[in-house]
Amino acid sequence: MELLILPLVFALISYFIPSKGVKYFGIIASLAIFAVTIGHLMNFDTKEYVSIFDPKTNLPFGLTFKLGYDSLSFILVLLVNSVVPLILLANFNKELAANKSFTALVFFMQMGLLGVFLAQDGMLFYIFWEITLIPIFLILYWFGEQNNNSVLLKFFIYTLLGSLGMLLSIIVLGISASSFDFVDMAIYGVIAPAKIACWVACGFLLAFAIKIPLFPFHTWQPSTYTTAPMAGTMLLSALMLKMALYGMIKWMIPLSFTGIPTIKWLVITLGLIGVVYGAVIAVKQTDIKKLFAYASISHVGLIAAGIMIYSTTAIEVAIIQMINHSIVAIGLFLAADIIESRTKTRELYALGGIAKLAPNFGFWFAALTFVSISVPFTAGFFGEFLLIKELFTAHWFAGFAAATTLVLGAVYMLRAYQLSMFGAPKLESFEDLKWNEILVFAILLAIAILIGLFPQCVIDFVKPSIEAIQELTAHDLKIIK
């Protein structure tokens, strides 16, 4: 239970820390949460389910309020608690790091994200899902660009309306199953009439498609990413959209299993349109932050399409690619912020020759660029190629459309690097990387290479949970009960 309690406690403590010490407190507190997570990891058997809260009483309306984790949930918990220290470290030398409200909101956001991944009750999943909207909205509103009210209103309305669709699906399942417990709802999901299950799936899909975002529900994303502060963009791209991808695997497909065949190819098609559309628009961008925003649409479209194949391999590599996407998102948006904060511009054609002025930055930006385009021995190489293979197995054209990400991704990333880093310097000076920025880049690159060299570690970790969910949808319920 301390996994949930600690971020909330640290959020409250942040308001009582002197301003000069807030950034140090943020790093230390986030590392303490990470250490607790490692403690859980050391004692965790991936074949077991760990309950961290279960009232074990008959609560009104079929509510259970169960919290716990299996290996699928825990790897997302580990991702959250690994990324938050990196986000705070990336912001360490910024004025924002000394803001008590900012630090508190990051911890509050962390608590909400962990709640989403630990919830084993449908209504509790929805509550934590909505809780995450509060801190991210306030971060964008208080610390984002000025005059971004219309952007924030669009973001808030989109996500809120999508969440209501998911709430209706959860209510229908809870009433039908006489319980909001995940297992009870999943049992109903594999015997429910296909028509009802299809509507339930559409309710979940609306919430998840907006949050991912899938084409054509993506219109809130580029403007929100570009007007958000660096930390806000990192929280949105590296962590918040993972709630939706996780939700597809853990909640949408198992809980509306008989309705999934009806929407399967619709979701795959939207995902693949996003792959091509996001990449093509990214190629045309001159704003480096907006370029990375559209690149994100392309990458997550591939993950969503792969998830809908729902084979064991597809889910395993989708999880690897989710982790890789977080690594790439943090690294690229940090690079974009470094460029913007030092040059006061994001326009690629106003840049050039930065690698000569700041060789350390040139090296680390190049390293993250290679990770982004999935060169061999990185996490993306393993994840993207196997996702494309799974889509080829499903249909040759789906695989062909997915494979365009390899070519177009290289085009827009190498173009962005060439225009900003090479050529004659257009600036008189450019401050090279600070120690915290080098440390963040180094950690990200190390993780990407480790997963690229040893992907089987992630696969073996999540396999028991994936197989358990798939057995559940195949009516073999004894392993869950």
396-414 tens-digit pLDDT: 888 888 888 888 888 999 9
Q: Does 480 map to a domain?
A: no
Q: What pLDDT sits at residue 474?
A: 65
Q: In whole angstroms, how far apart are CA 369 and each of 230, 333, 358, 374, 416?
A: 18, 12, 16, 9, 9
288 pLDDT exceeds 50? yes
Q: Whose CA is closest to 216, among 271, 253, 164, 154?
A: 271
Look at residue 90 and give its three-state secondary structure. helix
Integer Cα distance of 440 and 32 in angstroms: 18
User: What's the number of domains the chain is made of?
Assistant: 1
Q: Does 478 map to a domain?
A: no
Label the pairing between strands 67-69 and 50-53. antiparallel
C-alpha radius of gyration, the chain, whole number: 21
The partner residues of 119 in beta bridges, in order of sequence, read 67
DSSP letter, residue 347: B
Look at residue 15 and give its three-state secondary structure. coil
Q: What pLDDT sits at residue 478?
A: 37
Task: Name residue 228's amino acid.
Answer: A
> For every residue of 206-218, which 3-state class applies, written as one string?
HHHHHHCCCCCCC
Q: Does 369 map to a domain?
A: yes
pTM of the model as a whole: 0.91
Q: How many CB atoms lie within 10 A of CB 351?
A: 22
> For every residue of 296-326, which 3-state class applies, written as one string?
HHHHHHHHHHHHHHCCHHHHHHHHHHHHHHH
114, 80 in Cβ contact below 8 A? yes
476 pLDDT exceeds 60? no
The partner residues of 181 in beta bridges, in order of sequence, read 121
Task: Name residue 15's amino acid.
Answer: Y
Residue 281 — very low, low, confident or very high, per pLDDT cuts 50/70/90?
Answer: very high
Integer Cα distance of 415 and 32 in angstroms: 40
437-469 tens-digit pLDDT: 999 999 999 999 999 899 999 999 999 988 888
101-122 tens-digit pLDDT: 999 999 999 999 999 999 999 8
Task: Tell which phi-psi region holds residue 178, choosing left (phi > 0), alpha (psi between -120 and 50) or beta.
Answer: left
331-387 tens-digit pLDDT: 999 999 999 888 888 888 888 888 888 899 999 999 999 998 888 888 888 888 888
Q: Does 277 map to a domain?
A: yes
Look at residue 427 and give its three-state secondary structure. coil
Integer Cα distance of 95 and 118 in angstroms: 33
How much is the mean pLDDT over the chain? 87
The partner residues of 67 in beta bridges, in order of sequence, read 53, 119
**Residue 267 dihedral angles phi and psi, to the nearest 5°:** -65, -45
Q: Does 479 map to a domain?
A: no
Assess whether the previous peptide bond of 216 is cis (omega < 30° from 0): yes
Range of the domain at 465: 2-473
